[in-house]
Amino acid sequence: MSDAPRPHDSHQADPGHPAPPAAPPLNIERPGDALALVQHTFGRLPADSLVIIGFRAGITGGHLRVDLASVRQRPEQMGEQCAEWIAGPAAEPVPNAAMALIFDTAPAVSDAADRYMPMLRALQAGLLERAEAPLVQVWHIEQGYIRDYHTGADKRSGGPSGEHAESALNQTLQRIPSLETTRARSPQEALTRFLAPNPLAAAEQQTRVRQHQAPPPTRGEAVIALWEAALGRSLREGTTHHAADAGWIHHSPEQAAALLRTLEDPDHVELLMALTVTNVEAVGRIHQRGKADPGAGALIDAAWGVAGAPPQWPRVESLVALLRQLLPYAQQLQRAQLLGLRAWVEWLRGSGSTASAFAETVREQHPELWRSTTAPPLARSVLACISALGVCPWAQDKASSYSWWSSRQ
C-alpha cells in the first residue's frame, strides 16, 4: 500500500513560497530535524514504511509513503516506481534533491546494511535520470534508534546504533515548536473521528428518518437529481469558499431517508461516485451512453480516476460532509456503503492507508455483506482497486491531486 506524493511546505504556505524568515532552519542531516519534518508532513511517524521527501528551492516538494513489505518483495521495481512518482512528468515541478527514510520494525539481522541497497540504488538512479535530483540523505529508523543508512554504525554487533529517535525528535521540537502542529490525522484517528457520535442527530430524529419507508428512486436520472441537490446545498451552506456544511440534513428527514435508500443499489452508488467527481451535465451524458451501451464502462472510469478531467474537489468535500451527517441514520447495508464511500474518498485523496482503515471496518462490522457474491459492498472494491492500481491515478498527478488543490485554498 502507498500514500500518494503530495506537495508540502513545512510552514503550510503556498507551495513555491519560502518559509518565514524568523523560523529556525531545518537541517535534514540532523536526525531529529528529519523526523520532525516527516511527522509534520504526514501527521505521524509511520511504521514499516519507506518515506521519500523531495526538495526544491529550499522547501519541501512532493512526498510519499510506501509500505516496506512491498519494498522488500520488489526492491528494484519499487525504487524505480517511487522515482517516477516523485520526479516523473506528472510530478512537475519536480524536486532538485530528495531524502529517504526507512521506518523498520523487522528484527535486526546481520545483513541489515545491505537489505535495502537494491531499492536505494534504483531510487537514486531513477531520480537522477528523471530530474537530475540526487538522493542526498537516507535515514534508517530501527528499534527506536535512527542512524545514517550509509555511514551509521555497523549493525552486525546485534544491538541498536545511532541516536535515540524520540530524544532526537524532541530536541528538534523544542528548537522549532511550530513543527509540533501536524496537518494530517493518522488512519485510525480519521476513522475514529468519522464514527464518533454526532451531537446533531438526536434519538427522536433518528427514529423519524428511519420511519420513512418511501421506496428509493428507481431511475438513474432521479438518483442524480437527488444527490446533486444535496451536494449543491452543502456547498452553498459552507462557511468558506471551499468548505461544505451538511448540517441541514438533520432538519430534512425525508431527504435523508431518500439519500440513504439510494445506497442500497450498487448502480446508484456508482452514479453518485461519478457525479461527485464530475458534474451533473457530465454524469448525465455518461449515464445516457451507458444505457445505450452497457459495456462501455465510462461510468466506472469516471468514478475511479482512470479517465477524464481532474476531480471537482469541492464536490468531494461536500460528499464527505454529507457522509458524516448521514451516518447516524444509516442501517446495515447503508452504513457499510457510507464507510465504503469514505474509503473511496481517501483513495482519491492519495491515502491508501486511511482508505484501507475505512474499508477494513466494513469487513469487520459487516462480515455477511462482505462475503456477498452478488452485490459486495463498495469497500471491497476499494481494497481491490488499491491492490490493482496502488495510488489513485489522480493522486499521482500533482496538478490534479487533492493535496495540491487543498494547499492552494
Per-residue pLDDT band for 158 (boundaries 50, 70, 90) equals: very low
pLDDT of residue 395: 86
Q: 235-246: per-residue pLDDT in tens? A: 999 875 547 899
- Of the listed ranges 82-91, 115-124, 202-211, the least confidently predicted one is 202-211
Per-residue pLDDT for 341 more than 80?
yes
DSSP 309-348: SPP-HHHHHHHHHHHHHHGGG--THHHHHHHHHHHHHHHH
330, three cell numbers? 444509516
Percent of the residues in the chain that have a pLDDT greater than 70, as a whole number: 85
How many Å apart are CA 248 and CA 245, to the nearest integer? 8
Give the per-residue pLDDT at 400.
86
331 and 210 Cβ atoms separated by less than 8 Å: yes
What gap in Å lies between CA 19 and CA 341, rounded to an integer? 36
Q: pLDDT tens for residues 175-196?
A: 888 777 544 568 888 999 899 9
Cα first-last separation, the chain: 28
**Nearest residue to 42 (alpha-carbon basis) of 85, 90, 2:** 2
Contact 17, 9 (CB under 8 A): yes
Which comes out higher in pLDDT, residue 88 or 154?
88
Predicted confidence at residue 279, as pLDDT, reads: 84
Q: Would you place residue 273 in the very low, low, confident or very high pLDDT band (cuts 50, 70, 90)? A: very high
Q: What is the pLDDT of residue 72?
A: 92
Q: Does the structure show a pLDDT above 50 at 285? A: yes
Q: How far is CA 45 from the centre of its chain?
A: 16
Confidence of residue 19 (pLDDT cuts 50, 70, 90): very low
Decide if pLDDT at 263 tops 90: yes
Strand order of the β-sheet with 59-67 is 2-7, 59-67, 49-56, 97-104, 135-142, 145-148, 163-164
Of 148-157, 241-250, 376-385, minimum mean pLDDT range: 148-157
d(CA 181, CA 169): 14
Q: Measure the CA dihedral 354/227/380/374, to 10°.
A: 170
- For residue 23, pLDDT over 60 is answered with no
The confidence band for 12, taking pLDDT boundaries of 50, 70 and 90, is: very low
Round the average pLDDT of the chain to a whole number and report it.
84
Helix H or strand E segment including 273: helix 266-277
